[in-house]
């Protein structure tokens, strides 16, 4: 989801803290499984299992099933870390990705 908001802050004289109000003025929501392959990347620096959307303002849509989405994520993981299937399977078993 991408959101545009206005934030209003005032100092609370009693508590000396800032009181804030966030007004949501626009938002876009996407079904992540339909975001195109080229718009999703796996960035190992973010941590295991974290994906990144290149530019949420400009995404392309690709209709796919949940199974096809999982396969695409697995391929991106293997390509980005240059790991073997065996190292992926070890992680998958460790985190319960394989049932």
pLDDT tens per residue across all 99 residues of the chain:
666 788 889 998 999 998 988 888 888 788 889 999 999 988 777 777 688 888 888 889 999 999 999 899 888 888 876 778 888 888 889 988 887
SS3 81: helix
pLDDT of res. 1: 60
SS3 88: helix
Residue 48 region, left (φ>0) first, then alpha (ψ -120 to 50), else beta? beta
DSSP E strand stretches across the chain: 2-11, 18-28, 40-42, 51-53
pLDDT of res. 37: 92
pLDDT of res. 63: 95
pLDDT of res. 2: 62
Q: Torsion angle, CA of 84/85/90/93, rounded to 10 degrees?
A: 160
Tokens of 94: 């460790």
Q: Are 26 and 6 in contact (CB under 8 A)?
A: no
Write down the residue that tokens 């990144």 correspond to.
Answer: 52
């Amino acid at each position: 989801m991408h959101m545009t908001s206005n934030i209003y802050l005032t100092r609370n004289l009693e508590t000396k803290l800032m009181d804030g109000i966030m007004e949501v003025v626009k938002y876009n929501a996407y079904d992540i499984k339909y975001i195109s392959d080229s718009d999703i990347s796996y960035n190992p620096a973010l941590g295991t299992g974290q994906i990144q959307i290149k530019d949420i303002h400009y995404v392309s849509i690709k209709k796919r099933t949940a199974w096809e989405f999982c396969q695409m994520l697995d391929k991106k993981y293997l390509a980005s870390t240059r790991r073997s299937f065996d190292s992926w399977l070890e992680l998958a078993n460790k985190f319960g990705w394989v049932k």
